[in-house]
């Protein structure tokens, strides 16, 4: 019975149109049919068989750059390839059976590119350019040879790879090889090392889990970007699908604010965590793995030499790194005028007991003096900051409103005078409640990271409490820019010794240090008055003793 007749009989069985006797006969035929024989591979041409008498054996060819290539060909794999019926000289056109030249090539790549030219003998430009993606691949100046994707002797269609392996393995058939694209004149690598993916915390994810627009069946043309940074930020958006809680925090960070304002330099997820070789969380808690150093190298170097950095390097303790003080995702703007007290106290809560032995009132000191003012060596300059804050929220005032008031009063000098500052305070309070919060801190955010061991801390009271203290030579008013970052305006240091300062700065008074001479005089008068009143009272009683005794009634005081 022919196979077609067997097939039709089976259909009749399934549809109930075959009698039981015929069904039994059919069953016996099926049982005794010979097993199916796989289709034989295409027969090799006589020319290919001749070539294989040598090339079936191991052998190599060495090039001018000392690199080698195997000249061994697996006849079976070649026979099963799409070129199995062709002769070898169909591609190796410069080789003849009666003339087998040994051409010299400077490099292996030069040889491979030479052979690849033969592909265009059969595959014309119309075929090669039919797919936009393939067109982009073959049109690049640094395009890979055809054999890079399709193989050399076991040539197969690239589409056949879709059914084999994972989506990641399919993507790597191209992206594991040198690939680039140009954006705004800059070359960006699209090459992915498989070891990056295997060593990543995302090792169990497929490429398509993040690159959702792509799949084995769909590879849209890349979007047009104005810069590599724009591409990086676009790729970071895929992180939000799995890390939504982190994304929400990041939206409230200074990094997000800068990016929203158009600053492409602001970091995205991949800038800190990597793109395809995302490391574990623990890596960010090491000096070498902390991501902040990529952009803040100078501050990182300062931290590395600090008491925290040295302890981290020796492994004798577990001191804080960047994220412990500045947060990991909701990073706030760094401000020289804002004391890091709350950050410090989160790890050092017993500050009153620790400082009470030397400071008469540690709580009062910490209200206005930043921890860094004492715990950074005296080599670095300090400054006085007058923070203009909203009376309700405690946030820095918008610098635009500060500048508007100064302009309205005609204040154009680079340094605000004491009277102008007093008038600014009055004008701002006419609109809403405004406070002036005073802080003694470092004059530069960088210098605040040079924290020294406690035995090198500033212990001399005269560092502040002296008429020529360097701590009070610089005064600034602090407000906030539109992006939340700090804006500083110079103020005449004379404010610290003027009547305007006495009113504005309220409780901020450092004996001798702030040079409020009026208060010094007032204090001296109070002390002198405290001494003079009882002294004068005693002298007056002494001088009037006889007079008072003469007025006593006769006989008074006698028994």
Residue 34 banded pLDDT, cuts 50, 70, 90: low
Please tell me whether residue 194 adopts helix, strand or coil conformation: helix
- Residue predicted with more confidence, 337 or 356: 337
Q: What is the pLDDT of residue 25?
A: 60
For residue 15, the 8-state DSSP code is H
Q: What is the pLDDT of residues 221-255, one digit of tens each?
A: 778 888 889 988 988 889 998 999 999 999 989 99
Handedness of CA 478, 479, 482, 485 (dihedral sign): positive
pLDDT, tens digit, for every residue of 41-67? 557 888 888 888 989 999 888 888 888
Give the closest residue to 46 by CA, choosing from 99, 87, 94, 90. Answer: 87
Instruction: State residue 4's pLDDT score.
Output: 45
Q: Which of 272-281, 289-298, 353-362 has the lowest mean pLDDT?
A: 353-362
Residue labelled with tokens 């602090």: 478
Alpha-carbon 437 to chain mean position: 33
Q: Give the phi and the psi of residue 525 in degrees, each rounded to 5.
A: -65, -40
Query: For position 192, what pLDDT does the model report?
Result: 92
Confidence class of residue 6 from pLDDT cuts 50, 70 and 90?
very low
- Mean pLDDT to the nearest integer, 13-25: 53
Q: What are the tokens at 269?
A: 């997820």
CA distance 458 to 465: 13
Interstrand relation of 186-189 and 415-416 (parallel, antiparallel or unpaired): unpaired
Cα–Cα distance measured from residue 373 to residue 376, given in angstroms and rounded to the nearest whole number: 6
User: 158: how many CB neighbours lie within 10 A of its CB?
Assistant: 13
368: tokens are: 């206005």
Q: How far is CA 451 from CA 215, 317, 318, 321, 393, in A?
A: 52, 16, 16, 13, 31
What does the pLDDT read at residue 519? 64
Q: Which ranges in 415-488 belong to alpha helices (H)? A: 418-431
Lookup: tokens for 49: 């068989």
Strand partners, 180: 189
Spatial separation of the C-alpha atoms in residues 544 and 60, rounded to whole Å: 129
Q: Which of 18-27, 52-61, 369-378 has the lowest mean pLDDT?
A: 18-27
pTM for this model (two decimals): 0.66
Residue 40 pLDDT: 46
Instruction: Using CA atoms of 274, 277, 283, 289 in order, give the dihedral in degrees to the nearest 10.
Output: -60
- Residue 162's pLDDT band (boundaries 50, 70, 90)? low
Q: What is the distance between the alpha carbons of residues 491 and 500, in angstroms, rounded to a whole number?
A: 13
Question: In which residue are the tokens 């007991």 written?
Answer: 353
Retrieve residue 442's tokens.
Answer: 């470092």
Residue 318: per-residue pLDDT: 83
For residue 14, name the pLDDT band (cuts at 50, 70, 90): very low
Find, among 354, 328, 350, the residue nearest to 252 by Cα.
Answer: 328
Locate 401 and state its tokens.
């409103």
Q: Is residue 419 predicted with pLDDT exceeding 50?
A: yes
What is the pLDDT at residue 416? Answer: 94
- Mean per-residue pLDDT for 98-108? 77
Q: What is the mean pLDDT of residues 97-111?
A: 79
> Would you place residue 524 in the very low, low, confident or very high pLDDT band (cuts 50, 70, 90)?
confident
For residue range 423-478, list pLDDT tens digits in order: 999 999 999 999 999 999 998 889 999 999 888 778 778 788 887 888 888 999 99
Q: What is the pLDDT of residues 73-96, one digit of tens each?
A: 998 888 888 888 788 888 888 887
**pLDDT class of 559 with cuts at 50, 70, 90:** very low
Does residue 475 sit in helix, strand or coil?
strand
pLDDT band at 15 (very low <50, low <70, confident <90, very high): very low
How many CB atoms are located within 10 Å of the residue 115 CB? 16
Percentage of the chain exceeding pLDDT 90: 27
pLDDT in tens, 171-218: 888 788 877 888 888 888 889 999 999 999 999 999 999 999 898 888
């Amino acid at each position: 019975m022919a196979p077609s007749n067997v097939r039709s009989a089976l259909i009749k069985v399934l549809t109930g149109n075959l009698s039981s006797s015929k069904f039994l006969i059919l069953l016996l035929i099926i049982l005794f049919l010979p097993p199916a024989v796989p289709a034989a591979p295409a027969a090799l041409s006589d020319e290919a068989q001749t070539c294989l008498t040598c090339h079936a054996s191991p052998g190599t060819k060495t090039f001018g750059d000392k690199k080698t290539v195997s000249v061994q060909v697996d006849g079976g794999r070649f026979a099963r390839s799409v070129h199995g019926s062709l002769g070898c000289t169909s591609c190796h056109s410069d080789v003849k059976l009666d003339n087998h030249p040994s051409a010299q090539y400077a490099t292996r790549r030069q040889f491979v590119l030479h052979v690849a030219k033969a592909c265009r003998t059969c595959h014309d430009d119309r075929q090669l350019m039919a797919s936009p993606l393939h067109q982009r691949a073959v049109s690049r100046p640094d395009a890979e040879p055809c054999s890079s994707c399709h193989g050399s002797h076991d040539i197969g269609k690239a589409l056949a790879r879709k059914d084999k392996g994972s989506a990641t393995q399919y993507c790597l058939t191209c992206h594991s090889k040198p690939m680039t694209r140009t954006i705004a004149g800059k070359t960006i690598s699209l090459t992915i090392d498989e070891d990056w993916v295997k060593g990543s915390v995302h090792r169990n994810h497929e490429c398509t889990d993040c690159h959702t627009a792509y799949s084995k069946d769909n590879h849209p043309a890349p979007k047009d970007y104005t810069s590599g940074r724009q591409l990086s930020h676009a790729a970071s958006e895929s992180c939000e699908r799995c890390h939504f809680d982190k994304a929400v925090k990041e939206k409230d960070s200074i990094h997000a604010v800068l990016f929203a304002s158009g600053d492409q330099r602001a970091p995205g997820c991949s800038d800190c965590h990597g793109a395809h070789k995302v490391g574990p969380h623990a890596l960010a808690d090491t000096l070498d793995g902390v991501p902040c150093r990529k952009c803040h190298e100078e501050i990182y170097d300062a931290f590395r030499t600090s008491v925290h950095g040295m302890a981290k390097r020796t492994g004798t303790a577990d001191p804080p790194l960047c994220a412990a003080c500045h947060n990991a995702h909701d990073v706030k703007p760094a401000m020289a005028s804002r004391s890091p007290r709350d950050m410090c106290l989160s790890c050092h809560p017993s500050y009153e007991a620790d400082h009470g032995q030397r400071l008469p009132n540690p709580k009062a000191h910490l209200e206005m003096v930043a921890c860094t003012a004492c715990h950074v060596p005296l080599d670095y300059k300090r400054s006085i900051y007058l923070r203009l804050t909203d009376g309700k929220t405690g946030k820095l005032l918008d610098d635009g409103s500060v500048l508007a008031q100064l302009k309205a009063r005609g204040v154009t000098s680079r340094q605000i005078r004491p009277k102008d500052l007093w008038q600014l305070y009055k004008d701002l309070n006419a609109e809403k409640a405004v406070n002036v919060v005073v802080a003694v801190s470092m004059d530069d955010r960088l210098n605040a990271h040079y924290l020294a061991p406690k035995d090198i801390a500033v212990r001399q009271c005269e560092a502040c409490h002296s008429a020529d203290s360097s701590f009070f030579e610089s005064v600034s008013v602090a407000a906030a820019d539109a992006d939340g970052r700090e804006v500083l305006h110079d103020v005449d240091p004379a404010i610290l010794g003027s009547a305007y300062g006495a009113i504005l700065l309220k409780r901020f008074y450092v004996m001798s240090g702030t040079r409020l001479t009026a208060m010094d005089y007032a204090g001296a008068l109070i002390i002198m008055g405290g001494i003079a009143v009882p002294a004068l009272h005693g002298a007056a009683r002494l001088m009037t003793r006889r007079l008072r005794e003469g007025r006593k009634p006769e006989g008074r005081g006698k028994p």
